[in-house]
Structure 1
Amino acid sequence: MEQLIAQLNQYNYHYYTLDNPIVSDKEYDRLYDELVALEQDSGIVLPDSPTQRVGGETLSGFEPHRHQARLWSLDKAQDMDSLEAWHQRVLRLINDYNSKNPDKQLPDPSFVVELKFDGLTLNLTYTDGQLVQASTRGNGVMGESILPQVKTIQSVPLTIPYKDGTIEVQGEGIMNLSVLQAYNETAAEPLKNARNAAAGALRNLNPQVTATRKLSAYFYNIGYAESKIFADHQEMLQFLRDNKFKVNPYAEYFSSMDELKAELLRIQERRASLDFLIDGAVVKLTDMRTREVLGYTDKFPRWAVAFKFEAEETSTILESVSWNVGRTGKVTPLARVEAVELAGVTVQNCTLNNIGDIERKNLKHALGARVFIRRSNDVIPEILGKVPDEPEGEEIVFPTTCPACDSELELRGAHLFCNNKLGCKPQIVARLSHFASRDAMDIETFSEKTAEQLYDELEVRDPADLFGLTFEQLVGLNRFGEKKANNLLQALEVSKTRELAAFLNALGIPNTGKTTTRVLADHYRSLEAIMQATPEELVNLPDVGSIVADSIVGFFQDPLQRSSIERMLAHGVAPQVAAEEEKVVNTESVFFGKTVVLTGTLHQLTRDDATAKLEACGAKVTGSVSKKTDLVIAGEKAGSKLTKAEQLGIPVITDENELIRLLNEALGQ
């Protein structure tokens, strides 16, 4: 039996991993049948027997599995500018380390490019050469055990030559496109796309179903090893090959970023010719010591990045267009298309921005016609236009009345609006939800379902109505007990003294967000002053143009909005502003008088905290980089703003610890 298993596993390795068969199917089947007979006669099945790959009994559920080492996500570069920004961060980190460690210099960076498979991440555990566990990625720390399912993948070795302790090997479970096509030719229920087919098979509680999908897997990383250390990426990949793992033959090495970028474009061009799905390429530093020094953020390795390919396009049939009402009353179209696979997912809904978009893209008479669609990364796909020479379809009829409340719609530019602010349920529910959200009044326990329930059962039509609610009203609602009623009333009471900037954001002034409302609050320092501001005054504020100024003035001139605000004030709402004497500015600060731009993700400070501290130091924080910018603070995932700053020669702070040190020094903390 051991001899037969060794022989059959060698044949499997050549057939499934190397794609190079060395024996006929007839000869393989004869040896396989002989092994099956021996197992039946003896009642013994050895751990690495290929007969285990057919799938056993259906499982009752997946058991959680804790990985030996964390499985990290990859930061994404959406374009070449983002990739170059990652490259510059790598160079700065290496140069900074080398300047501080003259005796332990890191080498100049070199890179490897690998394909980014679009399947299901696998984490395999081998102990003393034996496959003892297989799991999904899960949250990176805990996954789900899928060992019986993974054993059905013929290219996964059940035993490996390396027997020095435990290792974890990471890869991607996939379904080849040719296998998917062959499967669908005879399947009672055809599978829609290869990615879902692979993920669904590996998370199917019946391993026999998994076996019918004939999955494959490519492996690319050792995430954990008790005693094995690799000098570079090439050595690690060779270790995988030596231990019978299927490694994709594509792995290109570069020392020049220009050559690397050119190769990424070539991969994208060849993408359609591959027999499996990829959604990008992965760029990694090759030197393992450099990887260790650069380390990780709380989410990503600093030494690797996923380059996401540009949007994919295809064509399908435009089946229908529905119209949805948002918080501001804007009525937007949503297209329903005939289901089609695009960039590894099945697409049925597509974006249409407004009626101007429909007319510009020649879609007015396209219902039932074939249209081009594009999906960019994880964004909902958009319709690009009707396929040329495609016969006209039925007309997309633009609504004249609101689909929710039947009020007459108003056309403003290319957008339709429902002006029934007090009687149109979708926009009222959305407005209430925004008012209570974290960046606004931050009313705990409040959700969109709560907003909808209050609309339906207590006729709440405006944020001001919330502050008139009583315990007797709330406790009588479905699923509202005494505790929930008291909690909501307490949360409403606490929200009455939110900061003025948060209150302004909660109001939902068109064309404004957190940054603009903060500027308004800091400059005017009272709600009354803001409500009386003129467009001429407002345009002199940072990041406030004429359109935003007109929106602010128009909002506060609206009788409905003024009435709502007055009612809230009557209920005791009192937006807070720090007293002038509390706003101390340190004129000796390195930030004093500087125009500063924040970009990317900070991990020790929130964006709001960093902005507040910088302003306390006398800085002016703006949202865009220009020649007037004095300093850029770049966190993780800093993109085009960082690139522009470097092009303009603007000083950049990339070390968050250094930023915090300078802030604390300036603030006397």
Structure 2
Amino acid sequence: MASLQSMEQLIAEINKYNYHYYTLDTPLVSDKEYDSMYDQLVQLEQETGIILPESPTQRVGGEILKGFEPHRHLASLWSLDKAQNMEQLRNWHTRAIKLVKDYNSKNPDNLLPELCYAVELKFDGLTLNLTYSNGQLVQAATRGNGVTGEGILAQVKTIKSVPLTIPYTEGTIEVQGEGIMNLSVLSQYNERAAEPLKNARNAAAGALRNLNPKTTAERRLSAFFYNVGYSDAVVFKDHREMMGFLNDNRFKVNPFIAYYDNFDDVTEELAKIVERRPSLDYLIDGAVIKIVDMRTREALGYTDKFPRWAVAYKFEAEETTTVLESVSWEVGRTGKITPVARVEAVELAGVTVQNCTLNNIGDIERKNLKHALGARVFIRRSNEVIPEILGKVTEDHDGEEIIFPTNCPSCGFPLEQKGAHLFCNNRLACKPQLIGRITHFASRDAMDIDTFSVMTAELLYSELGVREPADLYTLAFDDLVKLDRFGEKKANNLLAALEKSKERDLASFLFALGISNTGKATTRMLADHYRDLNLVMAATVDELVVLPDVGGIVAESIVNFFADPLMRDGIDRMLALGIQAKAPETPRVVSTDSFFSGKTVVLTGTLHQLTRDEAAARLEALGAKVTGSVSAKTDLVVAGEKAGSKLAKAQKLGIQVIEDEDEFIRLLEN
């Protein structure tokens, strides 16, 4: 018992010193004193065989992991809309003002305050999403696609500025931040490394996505935190309060955050950040401007991709010159042929560039690149993962000619030019197209076939003759288990995922089909409007063009797709094999005469008969407005199991509360 108490005392002391050293940058003891206490703790752990969860000895990295497990975030991690210049930034600001004015005109008794802005640095590292339950760090994940990421808890525990425990113990929260490698740390690492690292951004991302946590620990990463993305209890009135919460709970918050009431002051702050950028000990690629008030954020809401209350201001793209060495041609799932340029390796914006995009043959001609092989070209890296070639350095034809292909580089089929693009129309026998369609069909926003990847598609194509999505539903266990890297568990997992995918709704199925010129928003609209696959397939161009956001090209793409006998045959096969492709039983049609019509409703706690998202969708279909915070304007709170502060606030304000889930379901159904 005495040893355990000594361990607890040492852990508390060491964690306090770590917090002051790595988070506050204000050391309290010498390295010698720190090392002495750390050695005492290690000795006690060896003697007792006990290692407490919050022990700093867990930060050195454990055994090599077998792989990354997917982690579904409790709340979505949104991307940010980007402003490339001051005009775009002011356009974002103008839209925000308009949205606030529109809201206030409709809600005169609940006016939003004047806009106030927070300006933060935009770190260039790897996004982290940390989950704390009752004060303990229980999970850490990458951003992934914003809904599901990769669990990297063992790796993140090696970052000494990440608290393993926090004072807040009243529920579960998700905290977002950025894992980074300081430039000074990178320099020190490279002085002793056999293989020097190219840049801090890739060094941080590579360390955090390394299956050996010891490698992560060796990189001596740091992290800054800037958002509480989910909480089942704590509520913030504004961004200042949220940042105060992070500070109080020992998270490392970047000191360069400023608040302004005047938007002109925001633009001046951006200029200061640009001047400060070279002196920082970490990479940034811009700044983030956020509206401070949380109620205003809620009112402005989100587009399909971005929050309307925040924007990323990107610094001017960095440019350089290099030599264009070669051009290869890649085939996409729609048959489009895309040129990819290989250039002489060059450092640009913190990364080594070797491949650049050329978009299409029209782009090559427009940029005077037709005779550019072996010549020097301008390249730029801004937001693109692959940098862009801007044009030749000289106007002379001083390079070799880029030969445009006349036949598909994969299957040899004659190519057709449509506008500025080349297309391979061999949809039935062109391998990259088939693999691309199958991979798209299985993707998360489509049929969401878990664990499926492009490598899986290639293996099924080459070994089992899978040529179209319908073939996936004919796969058998005996065939799968014989495949390379397929054991019984993986085979069963894939078959279970395929079976589960049969229940995906009509909108997901339509998106999975990969109809040209249509995205998720269009397929969702089609599903909501027609609510029946047969009706969608029978729609005419004249019927479609009157629907929201459907022009002539999109309408013709939809009609032509379903008029194709091969596509119809594949759909018929999938329906015969059990694909349901049905619209939800409750249509997305807003009711005006239900119990919930016109009411502002807050959901809190855990529901057991349906998920929070399902409950929100059904409430909205019945005319309710679902919000995330309780206020005087809230009409109703639905409180499930373990409801916390939102329920308490509703009771304090005298707001109607439904705590009986059966009663809530009855009201939904009636």
Scaled by the length of structure 1, what TM-score is found? 0.59
Look up the match of 1:219.
225
**1:428 corresponds to which residue?**
415
Q: Does 1:74 align with 2:83?
A: no
- Over 3 Å counting, the alpha-carbon distance change for 1:358 and 1:605 in structure 2 is closer
Distance 1:256 1:34 in 2: 54
Structure 2 segments unaligned to the other structure (5+ residues): 1-6, 437-463, 472-516, 519-538, 557-619, 621-670
Preserved contact between residue 83 and residue 307 of structure 1 (Cα < 8 Å):
yes
Aligned partners of 2:430 and 2:118: how far apart in 1? 49
The aligned counterpart of 1:158 is: 164
Aligned to 1:539: none
Q: Report the equivalent of 1:605.
A: 548
> Are the structure 2 counterparts of residues 429 and 2 from structure 1 closer, same or farther at C-alpha, using a change threshold of 3 Å?
farther
Q: Distance in 2 between the 1:444 and 1:608 partners?
A: 28
CA distance in 1, matches of 2:248, 2:39: 29
In structure 2, how many angstroms separate the alpha carbons of the residues matched to 1:53 and 1:132? 14
Partner of 1:87: 93
C-alpha distance after superposition, 1:530-576 (max 9, x if no partner): xxxxxxxxxxxxxxxxxxxxxxxxxxxxxxxxxxxxxxxxxxxxxx9
What percent identity do the matched residue pairs reach? 61
Q: Displacement of 1:153 after TM fit?
A: 0.2
Distance in 2 (alpha carbons) for counterparts of 1:259 and 1:267: 12
Q: 2:238 aligned to 232, 240, 246, which one?
A: 232
Aligned to 1:396: 399
Quote the residue 2:323 is aligned against. Answer: 318
What secondary structure does 1:159 align onto? coil
For residues 289 and 482 of structure 1, the distance between their equivalents in structure 2, rounded to whole angstroms, comes to: 48
Pick closer, same or farther for the CA change 1:322–1:60 going to 2, 3 Å: closer
* 8 Å CA contact retained: 2:178, 2:223: yes
Aligned residue in 1 for 2:205: 199
Letter in 1 for 2:548: L
Comparing 343-352 with 285-294, greater Cα deviation is found at 343-352
Deviation string 1:41-90 (CA, Å, 9 cap, x unpaired) is: 11111111110000111111222222222222212222222222222221
Change (3 A) 1:300 1:396: same
Alpha-carbon distance, 1:386 to partner: 8.9
Q: Deviations over 1:463-516 (max 9, x none)?
A: xxxxxxxxxxxxxxx94889999xxxxxxxxxxxxxxxxxxxxxxxxxxx99xx
Q: Retained in 1: the 8 A contact 2:123–2:178?
A: yes
Distance in 1 (alpha carbons) for counterparts of 2:469 and 2:551: 32
Match of 1:168 among 174, 179, 193: 174
> 1:446, CA displacement in angstroms?
7.5
Matches within 5 A, 1:140-289: 140-289=146-295
| Alpha-carbon distance between aligned partners in 1 of 2:466 and 2:70, rounded to the nearest angstrom | 35
Task: Sort the Cα spacing of 1:481 and 1:53 in 2 relative to 1 into closer, same or farther, 3 A.
Answer: closer
**Which whole-Å CA distance do the structure 1 matches of 2:227 and 2:239 have between them?**
9
When residues 338 and 606 of structure 1 are mapped into structure 2, their CA distance, relative to the original with a 3 A threshold, is same
Match of 1:62 among 41, 46, 68: 68
Q: CA distance change for structure 1 residues 81 and 37 in 2, over 3 Å: closer, same or farther? A: same
Provide the C-alpha distance between the structure 1 equivalents of 2:159 and 2:22, rounded to a whole number of angstroms.
9
Deviation, structure 1 residue 288: 0.9
- 1:98 corresponds to which of 95, 100, 104: 104
Q: 1:447 to 1:430 in 2, by over 3 A?
A: farther
Q: Provide the residue aligned with 1:381 in structure 2.
A: 387
Contact 1:319 1:337 in 2 (8 A): yes
* Alpha carbons 2:60, 2:214 under 8 Å: kept: yes
The amino acid across from 1:69 in the alignment is A
Q: CA deviation at 1:219?
A: 0.2
Cα RMSD (Å) of the superposition? 4.5
In 2, Cα distance between equivalents of 1:132 and 1:26 = 32
8 Å contact from structure 1 (residues 350, 381) kept in 2:
yes
Please give the alpha-carbon distance, in whole angstroms, between the structure 1 residues aligned to 2:469 and 2:341.
Answer: 43
Q: Counterpart of 2:48?
A: 42
Q: Using a 3 Å threshold, how does the CA distance of structure 1 residues 50 and 396 change in structure 2: closer, same or farther?
A: same
CA contact (8 A) 2:96 2:309 kept: yes
Residue type at the aligned position of 2:201: R
1:10 equivalent among 13, 16, 40: 16
Shift of 1:260: 1.4
Once the two structures are superposed, what CA deviation does each residue of 1:253-272 show, in whole Å capped at 9, x if it has no partner? 12222221232233234333
1:422-446 per-position Cα deviation (integer Å, ceiling 9, x unaligned): xx95861777984759xxxxx7997
Secondary structure class of the residue paired with 1:44: coil
* Whole-angstrom CA distance in 2 between matches of 1:199 and 1:7: 31
Q: Is the 8 A contact 2:228 2:242 kept in 1?
A: yes
Partners of 2:310 and 2:81 in 1: CA distance: 8
| Structure 1, unaligned runs of 5 or more | 389-393, 405-417, 438-442, 453-477, 486-512, 515-575, 586-603, 614-656, 658-669
Given that 1:325 and 1:427 are in contact with CA atoms closer than 8 Å, whether structure 2 keeps it comes out as no
Question: What is the CA–CA distance in structure 2 between the aligned matches of 1:583 and 1:50, rounded to whole Å?
Answer: 62
For residues 469-484 of structure 1, the aligned pairs below 5 Å read 479=465
What is the distance in 2 between the residues matched to 1:584 and 1:151? Answer: 54
Q: Which residue is 1:497 aligned to?
A: none
The alignment covers a number of residue pairs equal to 453
Amino acid paired to 1:320: E
Aligned CA distance change for structure 1 residues 154 and 481 (closer, same or farther; 3 Å): closer
CA separation of 1:105 and 1:53: change in aligned 2, threshold 3 A:
same
Query: Does the CA-based 8 Å contact 1:175-1:214 persist in structure 2?
Result: yes
Q: CA deviation at 1:218?
A: 0.4
Q: Which amino acid aligns with 1:428?
A: L
Per-residue CA deviation, residues 312-335 of structure 1 (Å, 9 max, x unaligned), is 1245x52624476999xxx99975
Distance 1:355 1:482 in 2: 35
Q: For 1:605, give the aligned amino acid.
A: P
Against the structure 1 CA distance between its residues 55 and 98, is the aligned structure 2 distance closer, same or farther, given a 3 Å change threshold?
same
SS in 2 for 1:163: coil
> Structure 1's 609 and 262: CA in aligned 2 closer, same or farther, altered over 3 A?
farther
**Secondary structure of the equivalent of 2:415?**
helix
Match of 2:648 in 1: none
1:327-342 equivalences under 5 Å are 336-342=342-348
2:136 is the alignment partner of 1:133: no
- CA distance in 2 between counterparts of 1:80 and 1:62 reads 40
1:133-188 deviation per Cα after TM superposition (whole angstroms, max 9, x unaligned): 11112222222221111100000011111111211111111111222222222222
Q: Which has the larger Rg?
A: 1
Mark the CA change 1:448 to 1:252 in structure 2 (over 3 Å): closer, same or farther: same
Distance 1:151 1:583 in 2: 53
Supply the AA of the counterpart residue of 1:397.
E
In structure 1, give the amino acid aligned to 2:181.
M
Q: Cα distance, 1:289 vs. partner?
A: 1.1
Measure how far apart 1:238 and its partner are: 1.2
Partner of 1:20: 26
SS at match of 1:258: helix
Inter-CA distance 65–267: structure 2 relative to 1 (3 Å threshold): same
> Contact (CA 8 Å) 1:72, 1:299: kept in 2 or not?
yes
| Contact preservation (8 Å) 1:433, 1:447 | no
Question: Helix, strand or coil: the match of 1:240?
Answer: helix
Alpha-carbon separation, structure 1, partners of 2:264 and 2:146: 33
1:308 is displaced (CA, Å) by 2.0
Is 1:433–1:451's contact at 8 Å kept on the other side of the alignment? no
Counterpart CA distance in 2 for 1:128 and 1:79 is: 43
CA distance in 2, matches of 1:301, 1:451: 34
Are 2:125 and 1:119 equivalent residues in the alignment? yes
Report SS of the residue matched to 2:251. coil
Taking a change above 3 Å as real, the CA distance of residues 92 and 54 of structure 1, as seen in their structure-2 partners, is same
Alpha-carbon spacing, 1:323–1:134, altered in 2? closer, same or farther (3 Å): closer
| Structure 1 residue 584, shift from structure 2 partner | 12
SS at match of 1:126: strand
Assess if the C-alpha contact under 8 Å between 2:331 and 2:432 holds in 1: no
- Amino acid in the other structure paired with 1:200: G
Q: How does 1:480-499 map to 2 (within 5 A)?
A: none
SS in 2 for 1:8: helix
